[in-house]
A and B are shown apart, each in its own frame.
Chain A
Amino acid sequence: MLVPSRAGRWVLWTVFALLFLPLFALPLLVVVAASFAGHWSGAFPSDPTTAHYAAAVHGESLQALVTSLVTAVVASLLALALGTWTAIAAAGLGKRAKRSLDALLMLPVAVPSVVVGLAVLVAFSRPPLLLNGTSSIVILAHTLLVTAFAHQSVAAALARLDPAYEQAAASLGARPSYVLWRVKLPLLLPSLTAAAGLCFALSMGELSATMMLYPPDWVPLPVRIFTATDRGSLFSGSALAVVLMAATLLVLLAVSRLRTRGSYR
């Protein structure tokens, strides 16, 4: 279309492949290859082994995976609750109040995650709210960082929602709480699950704020990957990274299946 000549198209596609493959496909392939490698000092990995995976699902690494999963699930649910509430509440506000509420929610996205971590650390290391050294401080920081995304996607879905449904329900005498539970939330369900998947993926990969405040007995997977590679254990770090990617993708896949099922109802 844009390039009528066949030769011209092939030149463009070649340039595309030369840029795309080394920049985007190669990194993922390399991490996967390294996770199976016993040795890599040359062009290609050697001594294929699955020992890194055996280690990745045992002991402290397994604990890190469970820690990450628990943190991500709890933080996503909390963020979903908070973000849905703010999105629905914002819809009932005036224009200026709505804009300030949106700005408040987007603040953790604009502020560097490291600073969010620092702020939470400073605020919750002193009584009366002494959370430093507990798992709650990590979950709290993750919740803060992902709530914005939950709020944003629920607010976008609310804006697209046909007001006729709730008007019909209300005109038939349904109380506002009934309209919310039986009409609005079920209609929002697909976007709620999408938001949950997004929050989960972000929380699984969160490193910056976590590095500032993880306690020794609550080490999420990204921190474990960092400590492994920092020690020089690049191969076991890669295996852990593949486990992290696989866990994230599996949950995203499950969520998107749930969503397509939900949208047929």
Chain B
Amino acid sequence: MPRAGAALPRPGWRVPRPVWALPPVAVLGLILLHPLGLVVQQSLSPERGGGAFGGYAEVLGSAAFRDALGTTVWLAAGATVGCLVLGFFLALVIAFVPFPGAKAVAKFVDVFLSFPSFLVTLALLFVYGTVGMANGLWTGVTGAAEGPFHFLATPWGVLLAEITYFTPFVMRPLLAAFSQMETAQLEAASSLGAGPGRIVRQVILPEARPALAAGGSLVLVMCLNEFGIVLFTGAKGVTTLPTLIYGKAILEADYPAACVVAVVNIAISVGLFGLYRVVSKRAGA
């Protein structure tokens, strides 16, 4: 005697739901995981002797690598701090001391995000370049032979460009957080006699902390991975990990060395990105 459940006609054989995830995972495995695996494999290839980690010993011990690592880290950290300070101030004014046109400025920030980063460096060449606006104004006013601005080809030029380009990435989550804040809180604090400085410190800042953490860690990762800005300064003296990878692979055709640097860069960026996901999850909760 058949059981009651089995007597019901099945509406045809149906693919179990998890199976639908397999085709895209297979595609990603082929075009993403397999290539990344090959990079790790190449980084371990003992082409030049010295065992599996010979390439690592050679590259990690080189001055060029340590230089690039140091530059990458301090540029990313500096740009992140700069973006946080600047983005917090700008978002604060847009949200809480609004002026006519503040909405348009917020829109402009959104548009800014859809442009590629190297445009900023290109623009800075005209503003602070050797024959740019700033130096032109200086020589025009003082009559000197050349202007005082020569920082574009140094790490400071990269820092300025990164702060300019990435500040909107901090402003966007901040503006979203501010728009959800109760204005009654501010009014209560203000009517109780708190000054603007105290309101910012004790009311706004605690509310903004999750958005600041999420935006800041995103900017940190993006600065570590930034390539276009550094490439466009054309500064031979500024090498970051991504430009080092490009130089090793394309200019020197030294793929094993490029793969070693790539593995180090992946480790740093993926670790920090994981941190960002944790932080932004907490911010969203």
Contact = CB atoms under 8 A, between A and B. Distances in A.
Contacts of A110: 221, 269-270, 272-274
Contact of B34 (A20, A105, A123, A206): A123
Interface in A78-95: 82, 85-86, 88-90, 92-94
Contacts of A16: 89-90, 93, 99
A122 B97 contact: no
Contacts of B250: 211-212
State the majority secondary structure of interface residues on B.
Answer: helix
B21 A93 contact: yes
Interface in B238-264: 241-243, 245-246, 249-250, 255, 258-259, 262
A114 interface: yes
Interface residue range, chain B: 35 or more
Interface residues of A, number: 85
A93 B92 CA distance: 41
B122 A114 contact: no
Contacts of A85: 20, 23-24
Interface string A1-18: 111100011001101100
A212 B118 contact: no
Contact of A30 (B34, B123, B167, B262): B123
Interface in B118-143: 118-120, 122-127, 131-133, 136-137, 139-140
A180 to B, nearest CB: 10
A24 B112 contact: yes
A85 B25 CA distance: 10
A207 B118 contact: yes
A120 interface: yes
Interface in A135-176: 140, 143-144, 175-176
Contact of B14 (A9, A15, A176): A176
A41 interface: yes
A28 B123 contact: yes
Contacts of A15: 89
A26 B122 contact: no
A56 interface: no
Given A2-B196, A207-B231, A211-B231, A43 B114 contact: no
Interface string A219-245: 000100110011000100110010011
A10 to B, nearest CB: 10
Given A43-B136, A85-B23, 13 more contacts: A8-B196, A13-B99, A85-B24, A97-B21, A104-B25, A104-B28, A110-B269, A112-B242, A118-B258, A207-B228, A226-B118, A234-B126, A249-B114
